[in-house]
Structure 1
Amino acid sequence: MSAAGPSGRIGPMTTKDRIYRSPAAIAGGVLLLAIAVWLGIDALVQGSDRVPWLALATMILVIPVVVAFTLRPAVFAGQDRLRVRNPFRVIVLPWSQVAAFRSSYSNEVVAASGTKYQLWAIPVSLRARKKAARRTARAESGARGGSRTRGMGGLGFPGAGSTAAAADAADGPLRAETDKVMDELRELWEAREKAESAQGEVSVRWAYEVLAPALAGAVLLTILLATG
């Protein structure tokens, strides 16, 4: 999802590509990194014997993993292709190679080959879906109540709440924010899948810039623990 605006709303940035990121994941990642760095530096400076080495190995392992699952995930939707940056892989799908977008307990893009790729940057919020469903139900109920009142000759004096509910109902069912993002991706895919510039093959690349330091930290930590 894109970087959040003043209200924290998820939405596409005004750039060449639409960029989607999770503001909650970014905020959590920054907090975790701050804690890890604070504790790690404290152990490096104040620790004795093997503690500084253990702290260093732990930081080398933990920091890339935290970055991978919080700050790194992003979805880039361009005119010709969809680029999915997940924790340990980067998947590029020309729009012609996209078969569907699916939303259940996670949001996924399905390639023409049938392979599914999870969109880590667009997490599903079941709570937001339930909230949107409740608001839709209230809006529809308010709209029906307003219609009955008008049918009685306007004697019921409906309040502002009924008017707002009727307006919401007229706009259609309310949607959770990440579901709106998936709708935007579907619209862009449907508009561009047959474009000549949107043809090509799917490519998948492992994120060695994340895997290499994390593996090095894990190996160093294992050696230190084994020889302790």
Structure 2
Amino acid sequence: MTSEPQEYADRSYRSGPAIAGGVLLLGLAAWMGGDALLRGDGRVPLFAVAGLLTVVPLIVAFTVRPVVLAGDNRVLIRNPFRTIHVPWGAVETVRARYSAELLTEGAVYQLWAIPVSLRERGKATRHNQRLAAGEEPRGGLLGTMRGPSAPQDNQPRTAPADASVAELRELAERRREEPEAAGTVTIRWAWELMAPAAFGALLLMILWVTG
């Protein structure tokens, strides 16, 4: 049986800054929670356990977990609390507005792994406008580098999220009519993250009320 990573091995989209931030937050949570468990008095260790049960799954869900995996026949969207399998035949379009979205069968699914940066989009737009106007592209720090030593940047730019969405949209349009790309959308909830987070939050509430 073909494994999930092999089935979706063609293209993978993740947010590097989100993963880096998540790793840092997990390290901070482990340090603070571990210190409270080892050195805390009274009910402090219980609060630490409840806090870790609540916080760690949420950090993983919103930073490390999101990914979009695109294969020849379908796309997998792993968001914080859901995993959506969408065959290309069911995809209407993929777009990037204030967030990256995939539209299918009357539903809209956000692509958490492809965050849209309005700042990057604005930089690309201004750069392309300067090229269209025949102006010299800015180079170096704050656009201060000019002349022969400046980096060559005479090509149009596209914001990273817009480039990823365009690639997914092109793949959907190309594979939509293939027989292998037919099928229905399936969704699986991430109970392995939701259950411990809910239990930890409930335990925190009980400890707070009975404290």
State the TM-score, normalized to the length of structure 1.
0.80
Distance 2:152 2:44 in 1: 61
Quick one: which amino acid aligns to residue 199 of structure 1? A
Preserved CA contact (<8 Å) 2:82 2:188: yes
Distance 1:56 1:132 in 2: 46
Quick one: which amino acid aligns to residue 72 of structure 1? R
Distance 1:163 1:136 in 2: 16
Preserved CA contact (<8 Å) 1:94 1:202: yes
Preserved CA contact (<8 Å) 2:9 2:70: no
Match of 1:80 in 2: 73
What's the CA shift for 1:108?
A: 0.3
Quick one: which amino acid aligns to residue 194 of structure 2? L
What's the CA shift for 1:46?
A: 1.2
Distance 1:178 1:163 in 2: 24
Match of 2:126 in 1: 134
Match of 1:200 in 2: 183
Preserved CA contact (<8 Å) 1:96 1:198: yes
**Distance change in 2, residues 1:161/1:140 (3 Å):** farther
The equivalences for 1:16-165 within 5 A come to 16-111=9-104, 113-142=105-134, 160=148, 164=152
Distance 1:124 1:190 in 2: 22
Residue 211 (structure 1) aligned with residue 194 (structure 2): yes
* SS of match in other structure, 1:142: coil
Which string of whole-angstrom CA distances, capped at 9 and with x for unpartnered residues, describes residues 66-94 of structure 1?
A: 00000000001000001100000011110
Residue-pair matches, total: 195
What's the CA shift for 1:16?
A: 2.5
Residue 180 (structure 1) aligned with residue 163 (structure 2): yes
Structure 2 unaligned residues grouped into runs of 5+:
1-7, 137-146
**Distance change in 2, residues 1:53/1:163 (3 Å):** closer
**Distance change in 2, residues 1:163/1:215 (3 Å):** closer
Match of 1:149 in 2: none
Bigger radius of gyration:
1
Which string of whole-angstrom CA distances, capped at 9 and with x for unpartnered residues, describes residues 104-137 of structure 1?
A: 11010000x2100000000000000011111112
Quick one: which amino acid aligns to residue 221 of structure 1? L
Preserved CA contact (<8 Å) 1:142 1:162: no
* SS of match in other structure, 1:129: helix
Distance 1:85 1:186 in 2: 18
What's the CA shift for 1:142?
A: 3.0
Match of 1:150 in 2: none
Structure 1 unaligned residues grouped into runs of 5+:
1-14, 145-158
Distance 1:114 1:43 in 2: 48
**Distance change in 2, residues 1:208/1:89 (3 Å):** same
Identity of aligned residues (%): 51
Quick one: which amino acid aligns to residue 126 of structure 1? L
